[in-house]
């Protein structure tokens, strides 16, 4: 089965019902998307499917054949960080960080749609992501900071 992962063609030999998350973590050995509930409830596994945030834990491989998947790793790297990754470091916006990959990934898609959000809009956009450590205020600040940085870079 073939799909595009973080800009590269990937081919895996798995059962069509295998959840995308298992392939990303166990076959491709990515660390970004996390297993949190397996029920599409918590958001720790969120990735982008053709630019839209989806829950990889319930997405069967058969539904992503030929599609474009972006994970935390595809957004940026230590040498070329995405504005959100840089902002999460600058705001020290996570405690355990287990939810952060999903939050950052969804926020990246959100900022594409809404480049100048209010704090309330950011909270609304992330309301299907759970964070148990209580780092939400910092994450909201980080998303707002990234939005400003992206706006500055674009002008």
Partner 1 sequence: MRTSRREFLQASGALAVCFAMPACAQQAVSATGGRAILGNRLLINASGTIELLLGKVEFGQGIGTAIAQIAAEELDVNFDRIQLVTVDTNRSPDEFYTFSSISIQQSGPPTRRAAAAARQFLLQRAAEQLNVTADTLTVLDGEIYAAGKPTKLSYWHLIGAENIDIDISADQAVKAVDEYSIVGESYQRIDIPGKVFGAVSYLQDLRLPEMVHARVVRPPAERAQIESMDASAVERLPGVLKVIRDGDFLAVVAEREGQARDAARALRASVAWQLAGDMPDERAIYDWLKTADSRAEPVASKSPDSNQRKTTATVTASYQRPYQAHASMSPSAAIAQFDGKQMTVWSHAQGMYPLRTGIAHVLNLEVENVRCMHHEAAGCYGHNGADDAACDAAAIAMHYPGKPVRLQWERADEMTWEPYGAAMHIEVEADVDEAGDVAAWRYDLWSCPHSSRPRNPEAAGNMIYARLRADPLPLPPVHSIPQPNGGADRNGVPLYAFEAMEVTKHLVTDVPIRVSALRGLGAYANVFAIESFMDELALRADVDPMDYRLRQLEDERAIALLERLAETTGWYRRPTGNIGDGWGLGFARFKNRSSYMGIVMRVAVDPASGAIKLRQAHAICDAGLVINPDGVKAQIEGGIIQSSSWTLKEQIRFSTESKQSIDWASYPILRFDEIPDVEVALMQRDDQPSLGVGETAQGPTAAAIANAVFAATGQRLRRLPLVPRPA
In 71-138, the DSSP E strands lie at none
> Should residue 104 be labelled a site residue for partner 1 when binding is judged by CB under 8 A?
yes
Q: Residue 113: CB partners within 8 Å, gap ≥ 6? A: none
Largest pairwise CA distance in the chain: 47
Instruction: Say if residues 69 and 30 touch (Cβ distance below 8 Å).
Output: no
Q: Residue 78: CB partners within 8 Å, gap ≥ 6? A: none
The residue range among 28-36, 62-70, 109-117, 145-153 that interacts with partner 1, by the rule CB under 8 A, is 28-36
Q: Which residue of 8, 9, 13, 29 would you call a contact of partner 1, by CB under 8 A?
A: 29
The residue range among 48-56, 67-75, 109-117, 145-153 that interacts with partner 1, by the rule CB under 8 A, is 67-75
Residue 101 phi, psi dihedral angles, 5° rounding: -60, -45
> Should residue 39 be labelled a site residue for partner 1 when binding is judged by CB under 8 A?
yes
Instruction: Say if residues 39 and 48 touch (Cβ distance below 8 Å).
Output: no
C-beta closer to partner 1: residue 78 or 155: 78
C-beta closer to partner 1: residue 55 or 155: 55
Binding site for partner 1 (CB under 8 A): 15, 18-19, 22, 25-26, 29-32, 34-39, 41-42, 44, 71-73, 76-78, 81, 85, 88-89, 92, 94-101, 104, 120, 122-124, 126-140
């Amino acid at each position: 089965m073939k799909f595009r992962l973080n800009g590269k063609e990937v081919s895996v030999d798995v059962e069509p019902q295998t959840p995308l998350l298992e392939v990303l973590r166990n076959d491709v050995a990515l660390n970004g998307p996390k297993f949190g509930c397996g029920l599409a409830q918590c958001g720790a596994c969120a990735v982008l499917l053709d630019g839209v945030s989806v829950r990889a834990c319930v997405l069967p491989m058969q539904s992503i054949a030929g599609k474009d998947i972006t994970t935390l790793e595809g957004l940026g790297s230590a040498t070329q960080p995405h504005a959100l990754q840089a902002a999460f470091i600058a705001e020290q916006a996570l405690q355990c960080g287990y939810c952060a990959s999903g939050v950052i990934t969804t926020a990246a898609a959100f900022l594409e749609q809404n480049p100048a959000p209010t704090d309330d809009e950011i909270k609304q956009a992330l309301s299907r992501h759970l964070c148990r450590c209580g780092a939400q205020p910092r994450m909201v600040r980080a998303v707002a900071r990234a939005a400003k940085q992206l706006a500055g870079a674009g002008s």
